[in-house]
Structures are given as C-alpha cells and as structure tokens.
Amino acid sequence: MSRWLSWIFLTPIALVVVAFSVSNRATVVLNLWPLDASSPPLPIFGVVLASLFVGVLFASVVAWLGAGRLRRRVRKLTRRADKAEQEAARLHQEVDDLKSAQRNQRIALAPPSDTRAA
C-alpha cells in the first residue's frame, strides 16, 4: 500500500520537474558579488534544481541534528523500560516462589489427617 502511495505522490512531482527542465533550458551565468568570480554558463533548470536539492539536504541535516535530543531521550527511556520489565519479571517470580513456599509450609504444618476408618 505504501509503495502505491509513494508512486501516486512521486509521479506528478517527477512530471513537474521534467516539464520544468524541458521548458527552462536557457543558460545563465552566476556571479559571486564580493569576489569577481563567475560560473560557466549553466542551464536555468540545473541551477534551480541544484538549489532545491541543497536546500532539502540542508533542512534534512538541521532536522536530524535537532531531533538528536529526542533520540537520546528515547534510548534512555527504552533502557529504563527494559530494566523495569526485568524487575517486574523478577518480582513476579519471587512472588510465585513465596506462594509455593507458603503452600509447602502449610502442608508441612497441617495436622495429620485421620486415615482410620470410623
């Protein structure tokens, strides 16, 4: 299902990118203002798509770094939950052992039953 959804969303985006690239094939020269540097002639669609790619990449890195605190907290809480589950299992086992010991003690302390026929 998710594969179909990705195709449904990515196909129109790919078509728009292709249409944009085909209709914007003119060249442009980029100048870096403070320096007297300029690029060789580049197609406009290449400049725009490269800019979008760099922007998405930068935003992804910023989001990943920003989520670091949350990932650290999730790891910490996962460790605490695992320890709590182990402790609960240990305590359940201890309760079961105490119950069986108590049952055994009651059986041992019970007065002998009268097995003689009356």
Q: Does 9 reside within a domain?
A: yes
Q: Does 22 reside within a domain?
A: yes
Same domain, yes or no: 18 and 47: yes
Least confident of 16-25, 29-38, 90-99, 107-116: 107-116
The whole-angstrom separation of Cα 61 and Cα 68 is: 11
Same domain, yes or no: 40 and 83: no
Q: Does 117 reside within a domain?
A: no
Same domain, yes or no: 49 and 101: no
Same domain, yes or no: 97 and 41: no
Give the pLDDT of residue 25: 87
Same domain, yes or no: 58 and 104: no
Give the pLDDT of residue 117: 55
Q: What is the pLDDT of residues 46-65, one digit of tens each?
A: 999 999 999 999 999 999 99
Q: Does 118 reside within a domain?
A: no
Same domain, yes or no: 61 and 7: yes
Q: Residue 31 is inside which H or E element, if any?
A: strand 31-32
Same domain, yes or no: 8 and 60: yes
Residue 26 CB partners (closer than 8 Å, separation 6+): 43, 44
The whole-angstrom separation of Cα 35 and Cα 42 is: 19
Same domain, yes or no: 7 and 57: yes
Residues of the chain above pLDDT 90, percent: 61
The whole-angstrom separation of Cα 59 and Cα 82 is: 34
pTM above 0.95, yes or no: no
Give the pLDDT of residue 32: 81
Same domain, yes or no: 18 and 60: yes
Q: Does 116 reside within a domain?
A: no
Q: Does 43 reside within a domain?
A: yes
Q: Provide the domain count of the chain.
A: 2
Range of the domain at 79: 72-110
Give the pLDDT of residue 97: 92
